[in-house]
Amino acid sequence: MKKIALHWRILIGMGLGVVFALIMTNFDFGKEFIQDWIKPFGKMFIKSLKLIAIPLILAALIKGVSDLKDISKLSKMGGRTIITYLITTVIAVSLGLIVVNTIAPGKFIDDNTRQELITNNQDAANSKIIAANAREDLGPLQALEDIVPDNIFKASSDNGNMLQVIFFAVFFALALILLPEEKGKPVKDFFDSLNEVILKMVDLIMLAAPYGVFALLAALIAESPSLALFKALSMYALSVVTGLVLMVGVYMLIVSVFTKKNPFWFISKISPAQLLAFSTSSSAATLPVTMERVTEHIGVDEEVTSFVLPIGATINMDGTSLYQAVAAVFIAQAFGMELDFATQVGIIATATLASIGSAAVPGAGMVMLVGVLGYAGIPEAGLALIFAVDRPLDMCRTVINVTGDAAVSMVVGKSVGKLGDPEVKNWDDHYNKEEN
């Protein structure tokens, strides 16, 4: 019997999780049963992925950068990576603004529904406002200062400190490049082997992926607010999802134009990572799978993926930035505010910068949204309007974040002659043919 592909097994797990939750919620004990006996397995699955995120970044980046053997290559690849990420983020925010101004979802909320949503979610909104205000009290260069860790072991203990880990890994790898080859070889061999071990751990964890997403989706459905509140926000959700779907189209166009690959082939190859991103709502947790799919199944050399993807999981949040633009305008519309063109252009810049600072973990975009609202003069209490549907939309926008990372890695790989055929075993020969 032919083995079912991973993405189909994940989809089946998601579907069964939804059906199971819908059945169980018809019983008085159903919600509590799912929370006590099903949800913990989903949380363990996410924890197992987060467990290897930091070791993977350290091993993959040190291996990838040290493999370059030439600092000029790193500069070339880094510049192209950052510029491409910024361009796709600006496109995402612009798409979000076009969609939300066209649909105008804020006009569909009546006064009673608005008050009910604000009252029910005020505490959660306040916690995000406090977290955002704490960031605003810091100096203008604080974000730059935070990139440099004072203790790598402390930085490695928190997935929210990925930029610090990336800084250390690149710094370490640069020092390794500058050493005489015979002195650096034992260290490089260690990280090469560590990288292989971590990737094998990814394979083992993914065996549990269908069961993990079953538990996650069952818990999400069981804990969802009432359908009446979702109806009031359906047009807002439609705006976000429409923008995200259009962004997938942008990625497919980029892949087709710049790499000459079939965009539908690209989507099929990255789909397991997309499904995992959907169920975990975390680019960081999905990173090990994204790297495996892009390297082993799409054909981008590990030298490129180990550099581009960890950086993308930290600074490239196209789905998050699009959501921030839609949410800001939606809240303004709900409060009867009209945002002029200059303000909306400012939202593009603010959301782009805010997305770069977003941690690659669930719900981080909500904290950064406060900064966007503050720039545009939109009441921060409006956060409470969107909490009811934030979790499922967070799942959707994480898919876009991961897809964007993969697409950019293909573009960068193609530009440096490191995008090959995953079916070709001797990739170096293949790349040389591509360059010639």
Q: What is the DSSP string of 27-93?
A: STTHHHHIIIIIHHHHHHHHHHHHHHHHHHHHHHHHHHHHHH--HHHHHHHHHHHHHHHHHHHHHHH
Averaged pLDDT, 44-57? 79
Residue 300's φ and ψ, nearest 5 degrees, are -80, 130
The CA distance from 397 to 395, in Å, is: 6
CB atoms near residue 69 (< 10 Å): 12
CA distance 310 to 170: 11
pLDDT (mean) for 116-144: 63
**Tell me, what's the pLDDT at 435?**
43
Instruction: Confirm if 213 and 15 have CB atoms less than 8 A apart.
Output: no
Residue 359 has pLDDT above 60, yes or no: no
Helix/strand/coil (H, E, C) string of 268-287? HHHHHHHHHHHHHCCHHHHH
Q: pLDDT tens for residues 261-273? A: 999 999 999 999 9
Convert the pLDDT of each residue in 172-198 to its tens digit.
Answer: 988 988 888 888 899 989 988 987 888
Greater confidence (42 vs 335) lies with: 42
The two tokens of residue 26 are 């018809």
Is pLDDT at 35 greater than 80 in this prediction? yes
pLDDT of residue 201: 85
Q: Which residue has the higher pLDDT, 308 or 425?
A: 308
Quick one: DSSP state of residue 380? Answer: G
Which helix (H) or strand (E) segment holds residue 215: the answer is: helix 209-222
Residue 181 or 428, more confident: 181
Q: What is the pLDDT of residue 430?
A: 43
More confident residue, 302 or 129: 302
Provide the 3-class DSSP secondary structure of residue 141.
coil
Q: Give the pLDDT band of residue 228 (cuts 50, 70, 90).
A: very low
Q: Is 384 a residue whose pLDDT tops 90? A: no
The pLDDT, as a whole number, for residue 38 is 93
pLDDT at residue 294, as a whole number: 93
Q: Dig out the tokens for 332 from the structure.
A: 């303004």
> In whole angstroms, how far apart are CA 283 and each of 90, 152, 233?
19, 22, 25
Tell me how far apart the 2 most distant CA atoms of the chain are, in Å: 72
CA-atom Rg of the chain in angstroms: 22
Measure the CA–CA gap between 203 and 206, rounded to whole angstroms. Answer: 5
Instruction: Decide: 259 and 414 in contact? Cβ < 8 Å.
Output: yes
Average pLDDT, integer, range 313-342:
82
Amino acid identity at 44: M
Mean of all residue pLDDT scores within the chain: 79
Measure the CA angle with vertex 281, ends 310 and 5; round to 5°. Answer: 85
Under 8 Å between Cβ of 38 and 216: no
Tell me the pLDDT tens digit for each residue of 333-344.
877 777 877 788
d(CA 281, CA 395): 5
Angle between helix axes 209-222 and 263-280 (nearest 10 degrees) is 60
Close Cβ partners of 317 (under 8 Å, ≥ 6 residues apart): 89, 283, 355, 356, 358, 360, 365, 401
| 6-435 is classed CATH 1.10.3720.10 | no
The C-alpha atoms of residue 43 and residue 55 are separated, in whole angstroms, by 20
pLDDT band per the 50, 70, 90 thresholds, residue 1: very low
Cα separation, 252 vs 275, in Å, equals 17
Domain spans of the chain, in order of start: 6-435
